[in-house]
Structure 1
Amino acid sequence: MFRSVLFLQYAIILAISFVSGVVCFQFFPLDKSMQLIGYIDPRILELTDISKLGTIIPLVAWMVLVLFFATHSYLHVLAKFVVAVKITFFGFSSVFLLTQQESLLVYSVWWFPFQLVYCFLLFVLCSVYSAKKVGPQKKYFFSQRLFVTVLVALSVICAGEIAAISYVLPRFQLH
């Protein structure tokens, strides 16, 4: 029961945040949108010159930020907020990619599937440090098994994204 409620909560946050990003894109002028995207994830602006390090750094930055808040006993609620901000950027940049010429394939092969999985895994990362009631007090536990599982899953997805960028996207892009 608890897991299904948690999944529902994450799905609602995902949907609302993604739609919020889509709506936010409508309020930004294109040059300001490109500037914001350039600060957060410049790969979206220059699809032909994406490095492996350029793929890893944004992912690690989001992971560190989520872990920082998730492992703090008073700030753990902000970890979900950080993931919601990531999803909002996901929606924002998705609209940007879809409004560019010839990027529907790039969006469907690279951006959407990988970012969606990253967002779900970041939600799971929010749960690595959880409270359990032991007697009259709450005790906090760090789930090493869950942390390692999420870390391995993120690494595998990141390797898949690098493969998609390196081998699949060049075949789809029209020059």
Structure 2
Amino acid sequence: MFRSVYFIQYAFLLAIGFVSGVICFQAFSLDKSMNLIKLLDPRVLELSDVTLWQIFLPIIVWGLFVLFFTTHPYLHFFAKLVVAVKATFFGFGSVFLLTQQESILVYSVWWFPFQLIYCILLLALCSVFGARKAGPNRKFVFNKKLFFTLAVAFTIMGLGEIMVISYIIN
């Protein structure tokens, strides 16, 4: 029962973040939207000149933000806020790609599936550090097995993204 509540909470977080990104895109002009996209993930604007750093750096930066807030005993709730911001950018970038006429393949094969899975993995990363009741006190525990599993999943996703981007470009 308790885990299903987390699943519902995380699903709502992703859905509301995505819809918020769609609404934010409508509120911005195209020039401001392109500047924001260039700042957060320039691959959305130009996919042909992608380097390995442009693929792995956003994954590492978002993951480090979530990991920093997750492992801090007093700021752990900000980790979900970071994931919500990522989901908002996911929706923002989705609308941008869908408004571009030639980007339907890029959106359906690359952007949507990978960004959705990254958001889900970031939400799973929020569960790496948790509190357990040990007598009258709370004991904070770092789940190493989950962390290494997620690190492998992020690496596999990055390599898969490289393959998909090379397929789209060619």
Give your verdict on TM over 0.5: yes
* Pairwise CA distance, 1:47: 1.7
Letter in 1 for 2:154: L
In structure 2, the residue corresponding to 1:154 is in which secondary structure? helix
Correspondence list, 1:71-150, <5 A: 71-150=71-150
* Pairwise CA distance, 1:93: 0.6
CA-based RMSD: 0.7
Equivalent position of 2:153 in the other structure: 153
TM superposition score normalised by structure 2: 0.98
* Pairwise CA distance, 1:7: 0.7
Question: For the residues of structure 1 that align with 2:44 and 2:86, how far apart are their CA atoms?
Answer: 14
Q: Is the 2:47–2:169 contact (alpha carbons within 8 Å) kept by the matching residues of 1?
A: no
Letter in 2 for 1:149: T
Deviations 1:12-45 (A, max 9, x none): 0000010000000000000000000100001111
Letter in 1 for 2:169: P
Letter in 2 for 1:159: L
Q: Percent of counterpart pairs with the same letter? A: 61
Question: For the residues of structure 2 that align with 1:109 and 1:6, how far apart are their CA atoms?
Answer: 28
In structure 1, the residue corresponding to 2:93 is in which secondary structure? helix
- How many residues in Structure 1 have an aligned counterpart in Structure 2? 170
Deviations 1:29-78 (A, max 9, x none): 00000000100001111122111211101110000100000000000000
Question: For the residues of structure 2 that align with 1:30 and 1:47, how far apart are their CA atoms?
Answer: 18
Equivalent position of 2:168 in the other structure: 169
Equivalent position of 2:9 in the other structure: 9
Q: Is the 2:128–2:144 contact (alpha carbons within 8 Å) kept by the matching residues of 1?
A: yes
Equivalent position of 2:54 in the other structure: 54
Question: For the residues of structure 1 that align with 2:50 and 2:95, how far apart are their CA atoms?
Answer: 20
Question: For the residues of structure 1 that align with 2:22 and 2:51, how far apart are their CA atoms?
Answer: 27
TM superposition score normalised by structure 1: 0.95
Question: For the residues of structure 2 that align with 1:170 and 1:57, how far apart are their CA atoms?
Answer: 20
Runs of 4+ in structure 1 deviating by more than 6 angstroms, as ranges, are none
Letter in 2 for 1:153: A
In structure 2, the residue corresponding to 1:102 is in which secondary structure? helix
Deviations 1:64-109 (A, max 9, x none): 1000000000000000000000000000011001101210111000
Letter in 2 for 1:138: R
